[in-house]
Structure 1
Amino acid sequence: MPVNNGLYETRGDRWWREDAGFEFASLRYCLNPVRYGFFRRKVQEGGLSGRKVLDIGCGGGFLAEEFARDGFAVTGIDPASASVAAAREHAAANSVLIDYRVGRGEELPFAEESFDIVTCCDVLEHVEDAGRVISEAARTLRSGGFFFFETVNRTLASKLVMIKFWQEWSGLCPENAHVWEKFITPAELAALMEKNNLAAREVRGLTSRRKSAILWKLPAIKSGRLGGRELAEVFALAEGDDVSVSYMGYAIKSK
Structure 2
Amino acid sequence: MTATATPGEIAKFDALAADWWDPRGPMAPLHAMNPLRCGWVARHLAPAHGGNPGHLAGATVLDVGCGAGLAAEGLARLGARVTGLDAAPAAIAAARAHAAAEGLDIDYRQGMPEDLSAEGARFDAVMALEVIEHVADRGAFLRALAGLTRPGGTVFLSTLNRTARSWLFAKAGAEYVLRLLPRGTHDWKMFVSPAELGAEARRAGLRVAAISGMVPQGAPNGPWRESRDVAVNYIVALARD
TM-score (structure 1 length as normaliser): 0.83
Question: Displacement of 1:252 after TM fit?
Answer: 1.3
Asked whether 1:9 is paired with 2:14, we answer yes
Partner of residue 248, structure 1: 235
Question: Displacement of 1:46 after TM fit?
Answer: 4.2
Q: Which has the higher contact order (CA 8 A, sep 6+)?
A: 1
Quickly say closer, same or farther: Cα 1:138–1:4, change in 2 above 3 A. Answer: closer
User: What is the CA–CA distance in structure 1 between the aligned matches of 2:158 and 2:105, rounded to whole Å?
Assistant: 24
Unaligned 5+ segments in structure 2 are: 1-5, 51-56
Matched residues, percent identical?
36
Q: Is the 8 A contact 2:117 2:148 kept in 1?
A: no
Question: Displacement of 1:137 after TM fit?
Answer: 0.5
Q: Deviations over 1:186-234 (max 9, x none)?
A: 1111111111221211110011233xx44xxxxxxxxxxxxxxxx43xx
Partner of residue 167, structure 2: 159
Partner of residue 29, structure 2: 26
Question: Displacement of 1:172 after TM fit?
Answer: 3.1
Q: Is the 8 A contact 2:29 2:180 kept in 1?
A: no
Q: Is the 8 A contact 1:4 1:178 kept in 2?
A: no
How many residues are aligned here? 229
2:77 maps to a residue whose letter is: R
Q: Which runs of 4+ in 1 moved over 3 A?
A: 2-5, 45-50, 105-113
1:192 maps to a residue whose letter is: E
Asked whether 1:92 is paired with 2:95, we answer no
Quickly say closer, same or farther: Cα 1:106–1:180, change in 2 above 3 A. Answer: farther
Q: The residue matched to 1:250 in structure 2 has which SS?
A: strand
User: What is the CA–CA distance in structure 2 between the aligned matches of 1:110 and 1:16, rounded to whole Å?
Assistant: 31
User: What is the CA–CA distance in structure 2 between the aligned matches of 1:18 and 1:203, rounded to whole Å?
Assistant: 27
Partner of residue 158, structure 2: 150
Bigger radius of gyration among the two: 1
User: What is the CA–CA distance in structure 1 between the aligned matches of 2:114 and 2:169, rounded to whole Å?
Assistant: 28
Partner of residue 191, structure 1: 199
Quickly say closer, same or farther: Cα 1:179–1:94, change in 2 above 3 A. Answer: same
Asked whether 1:40 is paired with 2:48, we answer no
Question: Displacement of 1:45 after TM fit?
Answer: 3.2
Q: Is the 8 A contact 1:57 1:123 kept in 2?
A: yes
Q: The residue matched to 1:247 in structure 2 has which SS?
A: strand
Quickly say closer, same or farther: Cα 1:81–1:147, change in 2 above 3 A. Answer: same
The alignment's C-alpha RMSD in Å is 2.0
Partner of residue 68, structure 1: 76
User: What is the CA–CA distance in structure 1 between the aligned matches of 2:149 and 2:117, rounded to whole Å?
Assistant: 13
TM-score (structure 2 length as normaliser): 0.88
Q: The residue matched to 2:116 in structure 1 has which SS?
A: coil
User: What is the CA–CA distance in structure 2 between the aligned matches of 1:198 and 1:103, rounded to whole Å?
Assistant: 23
Unaligned 5+ segments in structure 1 are: 215-230
User: What is the CA–CA distance in structure 2 between the aligned matches of 1:194 and 1:246, rounded to whole Å?
Assistant: 21
